[in-house]
């Protein structure tokens, strides 16, 4: 009776997967015979994973290789997790419903540190040991890529056999070629890894020896022929490769019925808190004619097109590209808009493209603090942009602010309230949503040496803003809790020892895990770092000079701004000198 029941439940879970995939357009199905099999995993829900353009891009790149078959997997929802656990059904892929252990490679695409705990949930469901050293050559090779691990993979280093550092376009084919060549000749997992270390951008944690002195990293030494610095992969000319786009369309995503297209990569503005603004340097644009073709292709599938990039509103031919959408009676959305590039013509295009909400990011309430973070908008600039938005007829506005920034005072916090009220007055009605989040120090930014502010202090600052706007109609406030920000900081800047905290959090929850941390989590989170200290991410070479970031940090403390990068000519950060 038990075996029949188990079979029925397993069938139920697979039936649900088939129903989900039946709603997709563009799913890739390939025969397995003689191919390298890859299970591409997003460590969160299907809804979020299929909303992630990077995840879709890697899926397409892998399946474009004739000798590779790539299928997808996601973290099941809570109800399905219970079913997997109760029935003993191992986690399986979406396309063919095969267990993870039947694949040659399990590749995680990780965009956010908050998903690190989900990795362990997925390992549990797939019946895979957590630690790389506990898995032999009979198990699939388990790797990870994505922006989160390209910044600092160390908190999850012990769980993975290797990491792909940097951008994937050139890396994918080089890595799979090397894997295919070494797969059958390597007698042990170590032999296989030794062959793969020759691929630029590969980081194998077990091939580095770490020595600690007290709580600090004293030495980070490569062994077995590993490079002292792992070079982060970057694509010099984006147009050599197809633009990442929504190869699979489904209503079960955050961008239902929207065809997303990456039009540029990187941002040269140098906002000092923004990791994407530094790690994706230099800024690169795609050629207009190719993007027009991609947009028209997308409009043949769905009428709504989303233009994606770190600095979309600064794309050279943005108006012409938007015009292509509008002329085809399509709807338009942009991933980001800088308020200093807004004008009547741009707003007219956005309105014609179906825009109902404008999102802008002052980040700080006072001009002094905006200078500290190198986001040098004056209040006059902000209000003039708001006047233009209001005049265009767009009545919904979303504002992003950060609290707990370096050198911040209570005057800066009160300035958020005051600026919001002035913006509300300039909007002359409508709805304003404030997104207020604590500052998270990120690797490879000028603020990577900064401490995360005390949780009690951050809560007090949030209360000041909320109380100051409580009586105002038409203003909504959302925020990341300071405690969540604390954990995110730990996972952003922590070293390899933080992996033990993740295992404890998976078993007992964060509250209990943080009490057992050694070193104490405050050592990573609430402590100011010095330039001479070896940081966990220092082994990654993404072209940016550490000395340049430190110089920018010192300029920030004096509220001195730095002009945007002059690509190919300024040479100050080191990226264009490579």
DSSP 85-151: HHHTPPPB-TTT--BGGGSSEEEEE---GGGHHHHHHHHHHHT--SSGGG--TTSPEEEEESHHHHH
- For the chain, percent of residues with pLDDT exceeding 70: 98
Domain extent at residue 150: 2-231
Average pLDDT over residues 461-485: 97
pLDDT at 112 over 60: yes
Q: Average the pLDDT over 101-109 and give the result.
A: 97
Q: Looking at the structure, do residues 262 and 199 belong to the same domain, yes or no? A: no
Question: Based on the number of CB atoms within 10 Å of its own CB, is 55 exposed (0-12), middle (13-18) or buried (19 or more)?
Answer: buried
Q: What is the CATH number of the domain that holds 288?
A: 3.80.30.20
Through-space distance between the first and last CA atoms of the chain, rounded to whole angstroms: 66
Q: Is 77 in the same domain as 187?
A: yes
Asked if residue 367 and residue 457 are part of one domain, the reply reads yes
**Average pLDDT rounded to a whole number, residues 362-387:** 96
Give the lowest-confidence range in 10-19, 75-84, 490-499: 10-19
Specify the pLDDT at position 3.
38
Residues 182 and 34 in one domain: yes
Instruction: Indicate if the pLDDT at residue 282 is higher than 90.
Output: yes
Q: What percent of the chain has pLDDT over 90?
A: 88
Q: Is the pLDDT of residue 120 over 80?
A: yes
Of the candidates 175, 203, 231, which is a domain's last residue? 231
Of the pLDDT bands very low, low, confident and very high (cuts 50, 70, 90), residue 137 is confident
Same-domain check for residues 48 and 168: yes
Residues 227 and 261 in one domain: no
Q: Check: CB of residue 532 under 8 Å from CB of residue 541.
A: no
Res. 2: pLDDT tops 70: no
- CATH of residue 53: 3.40.50.2300
pLDDT of 40 > 90? The answer is yes
- Residue 395, SS3 per DSSP: coil
pLDDT in tens, 529-553: 999 999 999 999 999 999 999 999 9
Last residue of a domain, one of 231, 256, 287: 231
285 and 315 Cβ atoms separated by less than 8 Å: yes
**Sheet with 357-363: strands ordered across:** 357-363, 396-403, 431-438, 475-479
Is the pLDDT at 376 greater than 90? The verdict is: no
CA distances from 62 to 166, 171, 200 (A): 16, 11, 18
Is the domain of 123 the same as that of 222? yes
* Residues 472 and 514 grouped into a single domain: yes
Same domain, 214 and 174: yes
Residue 4's pLDDT is what?
36
Where residue 339 falls among pLDDT bands split at 50, 70, 90? confident
Asked whether residue 293 falls in the same domain as residue 187, the answer is no
Going by DSSP bridges, is the β-strand pair 304-308/540-541 parallel, antiparallel, or unpaired? unpaired
The pLDDT assigned to 108 comes to 98
Which residues in 327-340 are b (16+ Cβ under 10 Å) and which e?
eeebbbbbbbbbbb
pLDDT band, very low/low/confident/very high, at 479 (cuts 50, 70, 90)? very high
- Residues 6 or more apart from 72 whose CB is under 8 A from it? 39, 40, 41, 42, 49, 59, 93, 94, 95
Q: Mean of the per-residue pLDDT values for the chain?
A: 94
Cα→Cα distances 36→33, 140, 377, 491, Å: 9, 11, 51, 32
DSSP secondary structure letters along 464-517: HHHHHHTT-TTEEEEE--HHHHHHHHHHHH--TTHHHHHHHHHHH-HHHHHHT-
* In a shared domain, residues 191 and 246: no
Q: What token pair was written down for 354?
A: 């179906």
Please say whether the beta carbons of 308 and 53 come within 8 A.
yes
Q: Is the pLDDT of residue 9 over 70?
A: no
Domain end (from 231, 266, 296):
231
Over residues 205-232, the pLDDT tens digits come to 999 999 999 999 999 999 999 999 999 9
Residue 393 pLDDT > 60, yes or no? Answer: yes
Residue pointed to by tokens 């069938």 = 11
For the segment 410-450, what is each residue's pLDDT rounded down to a tens digit?
A: 999 999 999 999 999 999 889 999 999 999 999 999 999 99
Q: What is the average per-residue pLDDT within 266-278? A: 95
Q: At what angle do helices 379-392 and 410-427 cross, to 10 degrees?
A: 30
Q: Would you say residue 517 has pLDDT above 90?
A: no
In terms of domains, do 220 and 268 share one?
A: no
Tell me how many domains the chain contains: 2
What integer pLDDT is reported at residue 124 of this predicted model? 97
């Amino acid at each position: 009776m038990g075996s029949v029941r188990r079979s029925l439940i397993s069938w139920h879970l697979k039936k649900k997967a088939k129903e989900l995939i039946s709603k997709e357009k563009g799913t890739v199905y390939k025969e397995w015979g003689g191919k390298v099999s890859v299970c591409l995993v997003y460590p969160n829900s299907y809804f979020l994973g299929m909303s992630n353009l990077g995840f879709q891009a890697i899926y397409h790149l892998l399946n474009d290789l004739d000798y590779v078959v790539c299928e997808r997997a996601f973290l099941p929802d809570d109800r399905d997790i219970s079913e997997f656990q109760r029935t003993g059904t191992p986690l399986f892929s979406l396309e063919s419903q095969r267990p993870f252990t039947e694949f040659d490679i399990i590749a995680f695409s990780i965009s956010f540190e908050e998903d690190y705990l989900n990795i362990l949930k997925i390992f549990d469901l797939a019946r895979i040991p957590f630690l790389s050293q506990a898995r032999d050559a009979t198990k699939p090779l388990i790797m990870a890529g994505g922006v989160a691990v390209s910044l600092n993979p160390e908190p999850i280093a012990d769980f993975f056999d290797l990491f792909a550092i940097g951008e994937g376009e050139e890396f994918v084919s080089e890595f799979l070629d090397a894997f295919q060549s070494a797969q059958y000749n390597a007698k042990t997992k170590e032999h296989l890894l030794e062959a793969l270390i020759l691929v630029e951008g590969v980081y194998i944690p077990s091939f580095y020896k770490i020595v600690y002195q007290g709580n600090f990293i004293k030495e980070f030494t490569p062994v077995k022929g590993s490079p002292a610095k792992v070079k982060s992969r970057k694509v010099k000319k984006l147009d050599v490769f197809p633009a990442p786009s929504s190869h699979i369309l489904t209503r079960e995503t955050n961008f239902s019925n929207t065809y997303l297209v990456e039009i540029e990569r990187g941002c040269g503005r140098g906002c000092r808190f923004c990791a994407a603004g530094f790690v994706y340097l230099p800024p690169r644009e795609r050629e207009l004619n190719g993007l027009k073709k991609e947009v028209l292709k997308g409009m043949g599938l769905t009428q709504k097109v989303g233009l994606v990039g770190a600095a979309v509103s600064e794309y050279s031919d943005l108006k012409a590209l938007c015009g292509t959408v509008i002329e085809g009676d399509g709807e338009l959305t942009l991933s980001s808009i800088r308020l200093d590039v807004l004008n009547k013509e741009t707003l007219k295009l956005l309105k014609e493209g179906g825009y109902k909400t404008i999102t802008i990011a002052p980040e700080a309430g006072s001009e002094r603090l905006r200078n500290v973070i190198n986001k040098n908008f004056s209040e006059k600039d902000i209000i003039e942009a708001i006047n233009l938005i209001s005049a265009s007829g767009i009545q919904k506005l979303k504002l992003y602010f950060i609290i707990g920034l370096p050198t911040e005072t209570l005057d800066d916090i009160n300035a958020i309230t005051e600026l919001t009220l002035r913006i509300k007055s300039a909007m002359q009605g409508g709805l304003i949503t404030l997104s207020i989040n604590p500052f998270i120090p990120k690797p490879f930014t000028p603020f990577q040496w900064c401490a995360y502010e005390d949780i009690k202090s951050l809560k007090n600052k949030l209360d000041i803003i909320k109380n100051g706007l409580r009586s105002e109609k038409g203003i909504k406030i959302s925020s990341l809790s300071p405690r969540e920000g604390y954990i995110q900081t730990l996972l952003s800047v922590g070293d390899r020892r933080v992996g033990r905290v993740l295992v404890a959090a998976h078993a007992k929850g964060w509250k209990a895990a943080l009490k057992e941390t050694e070193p104490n989590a405050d050592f990573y989170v609430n402590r100011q770092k010095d330039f001479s200290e070896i940081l966990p991410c220092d082994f990654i070479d993404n072209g940016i000079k550490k000395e340049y970031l430190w110089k920018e940090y010192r300029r920030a403390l004096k509220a001195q701004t730095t002009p945007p990068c002059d690509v190919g000519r300024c040479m100050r950060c080191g990226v264009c000198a490579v």
